[in-house]
């Protein structure tokens, strides 16, 4: 366990929000950082606008997106901070395992 691990992980609600392929697709569509309307973001998805909105609600509750009203439309944008936080934490866990496994390998390979 490396020192880098001793940082609280993002809440499980964030990862739970990500653990759905439709929501993952929505996040991918927002990945360029540009705000989009619900209609734009849900284009070509085989579900009702209502279903898209429900997914967006989950993402919003998890802190992954911002919603701003622009005239009659709601604009959705990715929250950079939440994505970075989740990514950084995953990278740390990943790096920890690399280090830990390297120690296992070194020990086991000793003659």
Residue placing its CB nearer to other proteins in the complex, 71 or 111 = 111
Residue 40 vs residues 30, 50, 70, 90, 98: alpha-carbon distances, Å: 10, 14, 14, 30, 41
Classify burial at 107, counting beta carbons within 10 Å of its beta carbon; exposed 0-12, middle 13-18, buried 19 or more: exposed
Question: Residue 73 Cβ, how far from other proteins at the closest point, in Å?
Answer: 22
Interacting span for other proteins (CB under 8 A) from 13-21, 35-43, 68-76 = 13-21
Residues contacting 32, CB < 8 A, separation 6+: none
- Decide: is 28 part of the binding site for other proteins (CB under 8 A): yes
Only one residue has tokens 């001793």, namely: 6
Q: For residue 96, give both structure tokens.
A: 């920890």
* Member of 39, 40, 47, 49 binding other proteins (CB under 8 A): 47
Binding site for other proteins (CB under 8 A): 1-3, 5-9, 11-13, 15-22, 24-25, 27-28, 31-33, 45-47, 58, 78, 80, 83-84, 86-87, 90-91, 93-94, 97-98, 100-109
């Amino acid at each position: 366990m490396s020192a880098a691990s001793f940082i609280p992980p993002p809440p499980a609600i964030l990862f739970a929000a990500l653990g759905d392929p439709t929501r993952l697709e929505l996040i991918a569509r927002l990945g360029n950082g540009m705000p989009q309307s619900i209609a734009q973001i849900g284009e070509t998805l085989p579900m009702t606008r209502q279903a898209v909105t429900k997914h967006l609600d989950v993402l919003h509750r998890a802190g992954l997106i911002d919603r701003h009203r622009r005239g009659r439309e709601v604009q959705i944008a990715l929250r950079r901070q939440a994505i970075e936080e989740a990514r950084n934490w995953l990278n740390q866990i990943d790096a920890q395992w690399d280090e830990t496994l390297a120690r296992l390998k070194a020990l086991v390979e000793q003659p």
